[in-house]
Structure 1
Amino acid sequence: MVDQSQKFRLDKWIWQARFVKSRSLAAALVTGGHVRVNGNRAGKASHAVQRGDVLTFPQGDRIRVVRILAAATRRGPATEAQTLYDDMSPPVEKTEIPQGARIEGNSRPTKRDRRKLDLYRKGRGDEALE
């Protein structure tokens, strides 16, 4: 760890905290206007951040809100990276896959099913229903 009062680059911290796979992806995230530092949009990858700042950015299909706890000297393992921030994001709701959603039997359509699909795609959907 480094001195806690020191300022450091935003893109480098996002990469070291393992939110993105590469530093260039972190820079693209910041320069694209997707990262907010304490509620203000960061426009440059070299934006200076420090301990206590709150970052808001998209990751996958959710919005991450994290408070910076420390700076890192390297991009270490995930357990080390998790000590760099406090995750303040709302919990993710898990969606359950309904049981029985698959077609019964083999998941491939039969020749009869394919013919019905072809008729439906050609616009003769009424004939396919018979």
Structure 2
Amino acid sequence: MDRMRLDKWLWAARFFKTRSLATHEVDAGRVLVGGQPVKPAREIAVDDLIEVRRAGSPPVRVRVRALSLVRGPAPKAALLYEETPDSVAAREQAAEMRRLAPEPARDFEEGRPTKRDRRQMDRWRGR
């Protein structure tokens, strides 16, 4: 086997939980092969460069190392691809930025206003 469908490979490599999810993401343009948007039936081969974009995280760029028609355990699925060094660096930088980001809940020192507090605010505003 020297070529296979993109959506099947994404499912076998565990990028998506189901093949229909993989198909949907490829159709939405969130998966690129060689920097170009493609269709789910696009055939890929070893050494193709695939970019998977997900919301809230940097794109994952991988080079296809092997093809598999079956979805196996995660350690075996990880052998199907090799993440590029720039993708690893971007992912680590994003993780560091999330770690250093301030906690959003710390902006609230006393929590939400109570019913009594709201009535006082209404009186101050002249309502």
2:66 aligned with 1:76: no
2:56 aligns to what? 61
Question: How far did 1:80 drift?
Answer: 1.3
Decide whether aligned partners of structure 1 residues 79 and 109 sit closer, same or farther in structure 2, where only a CA change above 3 A counts: farther
Contact 1:19 1:59 in 2 (8 A): no
- Give, in whole Å, the separation in 2 of the partners of 1:116 and 1:20: 52
Structure 2's unaligned 5+ residue stretches are none
Structure 1's unaligned 5+ residue stretches are none
Q: Which letter maps to 1:55? A: I
1:13 aligns to what? 9
Q: Which letter maps to 2:125? A: E
Contact 1:36 1:57 in 2 (8 A): yes
2:21 aligned with 1:39: no
What secondary structure is seen at the aligned counterpart in 2 of 1:24? Answer: helix
Decide whether aligned partners of structure 1 residues 127 and 108 sit closer, same or farther in structure 2, where only a CA change above 3 A counts: closer
Decide whether aligned partners of structure 1 residues 66 and 28 sit closer, same or farther in structure 2, where only a CA change above 3 A counts: same
- Give, in whole Å, the separation in 1 of the partners of 2:113 and 2:101: 21
- Give, in whole Å, the separation in 2 of the partners of 1:103 and 1:32: 38
- Give, in whole Å, the separation in 2 of the partners of 1:29 and 1:116: 51
Aligned length: 116
2:106 aligns to what? 101
TM-score, normalised to structure 1's length?
0.72
- Give, in whole Å, the separation in 1 of the partners of 2:64 and 2:120: 57
Larger radius of gyration: 1
2:46 aligned with 1:51: yes
Higher helix share: 2
- Give, in whole Å, the separation in 2 of the partners of 1:48 and 1:116: 67
- Give, in whole Å, the separation in 2 of the partners of 1:33 and 1:97: 30
C-alpha RMSD of the superposition: 2.8
Question: How far did 1:103 drift?
Answer: 4.4
Q: Which letter maps to 1:127? A: R
Decide whether aligned partners of structure 1 residues 109 and 38 sit closer, same or farther in structure 2, where only a CA change above 3 A counts: same
